[in-house]
Amino acid sequence: MGRAPALFPSTMRMSGQLLLQASLTAWAAASAATTSGANSFATSVYTAAGRFPTTLFTKYYNNPTQTASQVQPVIEDPVETGLVYPLSLTDPLTVPKNDTTDPHPLPPTASASLLLEQAFNQIIAISTNANFNSSCAKCQAGLEIAKFLALAAPAQGPVLAVRLCEHFNFSSTCGNQYSGLALGSVITQVVANANVGGYDGQLLCNNFIDSLCPLPPATPLNLTSWFAKPKPNPLPAPKTPSGERLKVLHFSDVHVDPRYSTGAEANCTTGPCCRYDNFNAASPGVIMAPAPRFGAYPCDTPLALTVSALEAIPALTGTEKTGFDFSIYTGDLVSHDPDNQLSRDYVTYTETLLYDLFKKTLGSGPLYATLGNHDSYNQAQDAHHALGGGLATQFQWNYDHLASLWEHEGWLSSSAVALARAHYSAYMVQRHDGFRVISLNTDLWYKTNYFNYINLDTPDNSGMLRFLTDELQDAEDAGDRVWIIGHVLSGWDGSNPLVNPTDLFYQIVDRYSPHVIANIFFGHTHEDQLSIFYANNGTTMNSSTAQTVGWIMPSITPNTNLNAGFRMYEVDSATFEILDAYTWHSDVNSFAALDGQVEVGPTWEFEYSTRDTYGPSIAGGWGANDPLNATFWHLVTEAMEANSSLVTTFNTLQGKSSVRTPACTGNCVPAKICYIRSGSAAIAKQNCIPGFASVQ
């Protein structure tokens, strides 16, 4: 694949438009009654155009008509004046190995007085640790030494991290992962500020160092002081359904890979697959499984697959002319690159590229988005404001960029933009129809975010959950309904979030459900999953105590071993309850057959209606206009307990009907039911059999 240094104008405008119009016309003729209802959607199929729609971008670095490689559009950042992202940022042949422009700051060198105080406090912490003679105690004692080094000689912190990684063989790429240009500076900041002899150290040793410490239980909460007002008793009368149905798009985890190299190794053994310089160890330098133009199971999403999905969404949902009433995007725009190949520019390029595409293709309705763990640099890292000084604002560039893009696209008001700048890209949108959307930065409860391990026995160091609670109280006072959107789920099997913050989140959901919170939405796992939130911290789980549903959205990316998918909800315009959910998917296993021609692209087809799939299993049935709420889903889990074939159906749909989804038998059946009933990491860890959460 050769590189073309010249810029190519957007040619073939008429042919690209005619081809797309022909596809839409053919689809409309084949499925003229697809405006609403599962029966009409059930036969809907859309085959994307084989040629790339060149009118999407004004200029390209390479010839956009070619099929031998992915297109490389010229992207100018609308909120960074004069910034045009260079080809070298995304060229598959020249992937940058380290971002030397934007290293994270190191903590300041400690004064002698601070060293004395820290030494004293840490010695006290060790002396009161009952597990000091265990491997856990050894791990924490090692962190103590690292802490003093981080305070006294912070520049040596990353060096120590690399040497320890190499000595204990934690990784084969220690330098790339833990140098000062990767996570080494972050780890040095965290160790310098964390109480490594106490709760913070226990969690660090549990989550990052071979589980040397047991997982401590959730810290008891003082909820009386947390909430400004008690939960109303009785609850306000529920809103009367309007009978009018809104169309709402939910999609997630695009993980577009602008460095995707068509024809590269799709079955590699190191690094991201479908990349120019990554091979299978069994045949270095020889391509065993060439990467198809539209994507492969082990890889992130090429731009060709991304665009085919955005073509299919309005056609299959019947929103070509009207657009959606609104859309939600639950995070993760950026590809799964190793830290040493990431940079600020790579993140902001991806944000600019995709939000521009969403605006161009999905119609005029607003899109409410949330920040994913990969939408940061370094990935998954977000520092909380309690760090103080420059360390507290080291990710502000990203919050400002996202807020400016969302404002530029016309999706957020100036007041919501101000909130996003101040609250780690989190915000609240108050619409005119008695409805609010609250978007959270769930990196602040994500297990892989090192910054969360500073004073972790306090469940809300970031202030994120204080922000959420205050916004929910305002909504309750106004009588408004709320959707909460975030990226990293709060529960399922408990392997992704931290115990303390999600335990508090669960109590917040309990306090404001079901009269304020109508639904919660996550992404992150790439799979079609669900969480039910119950009253009283889930101590009694039945249809009467079920309060709120957390919908976990499957991904556009096939990574790993999944089909690509998206969903549309039909939502009552007064209650904002979901009346049905329609999911479509594209069979990634078929993509290799599309190479060598430009007549057709991926086929997207209807997968299932939630109501039609699970409703008949409920004893006594479920009314045609009754919402798919927490009561509905708890009754579905009771049906699963009575008939395991329903779990088999759920398991198949969890992987978007991928041919690579394994069967769910034996302990997998009760485990899946338990995961569905777990809305926090604490409940999942306490109740559920581990090991069956994913179909990847």
pLDDT digits (tens, 9 = 90+) for 229-252: 999 999 999 999 999 999 999 999
pLDDT at 130 over 80: no
Query: Which of 493, 478, 503, 609 has its CA nearest to residue 223?
Result: 503
**Averaged pLDDT for residues 497-503:** 97
Query: Which of 556, 627, 549, 550 has its CA nearest to residue 588?
Result: 556
**Averaged pLDDT for residues 338-348:** 96
DSSP code at position 453: G
Q: What's the pLDDT tens digit per position in 536-589?
A: 999 999 999 999 999 999 999 999 999 999 999 999 999 999 999 999 999 999
**388: its two tokens:** 């103080």
DSSP string, 361-430: HS-SS-EEE---TTSSSSTT----GGG-HHHHTTTHHHHHHHHHHHHHTT-S-HHHHHHHHHTTT-EEEE
Helix or strand holding residue 199 (H, E): helix 199-207
Torsion of the alpha carbons at 651, 657, 659 and 663, rounded to the nearest 10: 10
Which range, of 7-16, 22-31, 590-599, 618-627, averages the lowest pLDDT? 22-31
454 vs 565: CA distance, rounded Å: 37
**Averaged pLDDT for residues 526-543:** 97
Residue 34 pLDDT: 35
Which residues on adjacent β-strands are paired with residue 49? 600
pLDDT at 477 over 80: yes
Q: Is the pTM here over 0.85, yes or no?
A: yes
Annotated binding-site residue numbers: 253, 255, 332, 373, 487, 524, 526
Residue 231 C-alpha from the chain's centroid: 31
**477: its two tokens:** 């006072």
DSSP code at position 536: G
| Residue 379 or residue 14, greater confidence | 379
Torsion of the alpha carbons at 284, 290, 296 and 299, rounded to the nearest 10: 30
Residue 33 pLDDT: 32
pLDDT at 647 over 80: yes
497 vs 505: CA distance, rounded Å: 11
Band (271; pLDDT cuts 50, 70, 90): confident
Band (123; pLDDT cuts 50, 70, 90): low
Helix or strand holding residue 586 (H, E): strand 578-586
Band (652; pLDDT cuts 50, 70, 90): very high
Q: Is 172 helix (H, G, I), strand (E, B) or coil?
A: coil
Residue 10 pLDDT: 52
Q: Widest CA span of the chain, in angstroms?
A: 78
Q: What's the pLDDT tens digit per position in 194-206?
A: 999 999 999 999 9
Band (406; pLDDT cuts 50, 70, 90): very high
Q: Is 547 helix (H, G, I), strand (E, B) or coil?
A: strand
Residue 1 pLDDT: 40
Q: How many alpha carbons fall within 13 Å on the CB side of residue 139?
A: 22
Annotated binding-site residue numbers for Zn(2+): 253, 255, 332, 373, 487, 524, 526
Residue 448 pLDDT: 97
pLDDT-above-90 percentage for the chain: 80
Answer yes or no: are the C-beta atoms of 250 and 257 closer than 8 Å.
no
Q: What's the pLDDT tens digit per position in 162-182?
A: 998 998 888 999 999 999 999
pLDDT at 14 over 50: no
Residue 86 C-alpha from the chain's centroid: 27
Query: Which of 85, 107, 79 has its CA nearest to residue 7?
Result: 85
Residue 267 pLDDT: 96
Mean pLDDT of the chain: 92
Q: How many alpha carbons fall within 13 Å on the CB side of residue 3?
A: 11
Residue 40 pLDDT: 76
436 vs 471: CA distance, rounded Å: 9
**Averaged pLDDT for residues 140-149:** 91
pLDDT at 26 over 70: no
Q: What's the pLDDT tens digit per position in 422-469?
A: 999 999 999 999 999 999 999 999 999 999 999 998 999 999 999 999
Domains for the chain: give ranges and CATH numbers: 112-180+182-216 (no CATH), 245-687 (3.60.21.10)
Residue 211 pLDDT: 87
Residue 257 pLDDT: 98
Count of residues making up the chain: 696
Residue 129 pLDDT: 73
Residue 35 pLDDT: 38
**Averaged pLDDT for residues 84-106:** 91
Band (113; pLDDT cuts 50, 70, 90): confident
Which range, of 48-62, 112-126, 315-329, 632-646, averages the lowest pLDDT? 112-126
DSSP string, 48-63: EESS--GGG-SEESS-
Q: How many alpha carbons fall within 13 Å on the CB side of residue 415?
A: 4
Amino acid, single-letter form, for residue 559: N
pLDDT at 9 over 70: no
Answer yes or no: are the C-beta atoms of 67 and 32 closer than 8 Å.
no
Query: Which of 379, 349, 53, 353 has its CA nearest to residue 186?
Result: 379
Please give the backbone phi and psi of residue 275, each rounded to the nearest 5 degrees, phi first: -120, 150
Answer yes or no: are the C-beta atoms of 213 and 140 closer than 8 Å.
yes
**584: its two tokens:** 């479509």
**Averaged pLDDT for residues 319-340:** 96
Answer yes or no: are the C-beta atoms of 72 and 2 closer than 8 Å.
no
Which range, of 15-19, 141-145, 350-354, 483-487, averages the lowest pLDDT? 15-19
Residue 432, class by beta-carbon neighbours within 10 Å (0-12 exposed, 13-18 middle, 19+ buried)?
Answer: exposed
Helix or strand holding residue 21 (H, E): helix 13-30
Residue 37 pLDDT: 65
Answer yes or no: are the C-beta atoms of 640 and 647 closer than 8 Å.
yes
Residue 285 pLDDT: 86
**432: its two tokens:** 């005119």
The answer, yes or no, to whether the previous bond of 514 is cis (omega within 30 of 0) is yes
Distances (CA, A) of 126 to 119, 131, 197, 208: 11, 9, 5, 20
